[in-house]
Amino acid sequence: MVALAACAIPKRHTAQTLLFVVPADTTARILRGDKVEIMPAELQLHVGDVIRIRNEDAHPQKVGPYYVKPHSQVDVRYGAPGTFVGTCKFTRTGRYEIVVRS
């Protein structure tokens, strides 16, 4: 009798793009004392995933570790596993943690 062992073939992750938008008048809202939440405090990503941050405000903004000029966008594709932690005024907690897995 011959026994066949099933080999586990790793499932390929389909890369995703997450879009976060800084709305127009965000700076004015912040100056009024409003809390503006744009992204979650924790993101779980895979290698190949992209974060796209679009700034529709008339002023530059720092979203997580990324600086975005007015009326422009930044795309960041994660090419290696890692954990990124820092401060961000656009999360509920004022901090961010981006975990990238293979």
| CB neighbours of residue 72 within 10 Å | 11
What is the sign, positive or negative, of the torsion defined by CA atoms of 24, 28, 34, 37?
A: positive
Reported confidence tier of residue 6, pLDDT bands at 50, 70, 90? low
User: Do residues 28 and 85 touch, judged by C-beta distance below 8 A?
Assistant: no
Domains of the chain, CATH where assigned:
17-101 (2.60.40.420)
State pLDDT tens for residues 50-86.
Answer: 999 999 999 999 999 999 999 999 999 999 999 999 9
38-60 exposure pattern, b = at least 16 Cβ within 10 A, e = fewer? bbbeebebbeebebebbbbbeee
Percent of the chain exceeding pLDDT 90 equals 87
Which ranges constitute the DSSP H helices of 1-102?
Answer: 26-31
**Mean pLDDT computed over 30-39:** 96
> Pick the residue with more confidence: 5 or 55?
55
pLDDT of residue 13: 80
